[in-house]
């Protein structure tokens, strides 16, 4: 009974959520688009001409937001390059290069390399989150693993002056994750957008300027 009541409460809150309503009105696939929108408006992350990679991009609301920011190229299309990576399928987004698979695998990295053609990224985005088990230590470890992957990906593919934005949680090994960011990036900023629910410990970390970029782009992430 308690679980049923919780589900009803969640559904009620979801239906009446202003960001859910806004997403339906604006054509976004998820309310998460407004989290990126607010952070971008504060930090001026997404700019025309950039190469942007979205890790764990499904269902695509962040990609939709980026697409709108890069739109306006004369004759249609976008001014920039968008690449989305996810193990799950995704409905296509115009002008986004979508690669389905695990970006730790050489085959997927080769596909990414074909799109990048030797270029480095200006911005790496990660809204990835683990499947939660309810066991705090296990969930924290899974969250850290995902963020480690995003950092390693950035070391390989990000421009020295580029930026990495990741989702993390205050109650899932946050201090450890924050210290890793401080070790790898020249500046680190915590962001809690209004679209992030008050009840959630969700927070975003923005790292700018790699301290130790990896020069060899062909190295696979292992």
171 is annotated as contributing to ligand binding: no
Whether the pLDDT of residue 193 is over 80: the answer is yes
Residue that has been written with the tokens 């899974």 in this structure: 142
Active site residue 191: no
**Residue 174 in contact with residue 202, Cβ under 8 Å?**
no
- Pull the structure tokens for residue 53: 């990679």
25-40: average pLDDT: 96
Candidate list 167, 180, 191, 211, residue with the active-site label: 167
**Residue 91 in contact with residue 67, Cβ under 8 Å?**
no
The predicted pLDDT at position 123 comes to 98
102 is annotated as contributing to ligand binding: yes
Which tens digit of pLDDT belongs to each residue from 58-97?
999 999 999 999 997 777 899 999 999 999 999 999 999 9
Give me the domains of the chain, ranges plus CATH numbers: 31-210 (3.40.50.150)
Q: Which of 200, 220, 27 is nearest to 129 (CA)?
A: 200
Percent of the chain topping pLDDT 90? 76
60 is annotated as contributing to ligand binding: yes
Backbone angles phi, psi at 151, to 5 degrees: -65, -45
Indicate the pTM of the whole model. 0.89
């Amino acid at each position: 009974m308690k679980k049923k009541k919780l589900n009803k409460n969640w559904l009620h809150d979801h239906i009446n959520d202003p960001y859910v309503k806004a997403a339906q009105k604006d054509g976004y696939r998820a309310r998460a688009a407004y989290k990126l929108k607010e952070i971008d408006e504060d930090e001026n992350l997404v700019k025309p001409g950039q190469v942007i990679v979205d890790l764990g991009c499904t269902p695509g609301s962040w990609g939709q937001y980026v697409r709108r920011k890069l739109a306006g190229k004369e004759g249609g299309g976008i001014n920039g390059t968008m690449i989305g990576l996810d193990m799950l399928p995704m409905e296509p987004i115009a002008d986004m290069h979508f690669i389905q698979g695990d970006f730790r695998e050489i085959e997927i990295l080769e596909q990414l390399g074909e799109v990048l053609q030797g270029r480095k990224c200006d911005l790496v985005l990660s809204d990835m989150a683990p499947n939660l088990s309810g066991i705090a230590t296990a969930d924290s470890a899974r969250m850290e693993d995902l963020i480690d992957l995003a950092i390693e990906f950035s070391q390989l593919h990000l421009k020295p002056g580029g930026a990495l934005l990741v989702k993390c949680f205050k109650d899932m090994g946050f201090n450890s994750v924050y210290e890793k960011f401080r070790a790898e990036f020249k500046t680190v900023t915590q962001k809690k957008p209004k679209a992030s629910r008050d009840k959630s410990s969700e927070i975003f970390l923005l790292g700018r300027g790699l301290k130790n970029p990896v020069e060899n782009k062909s190295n696979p992430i292992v």
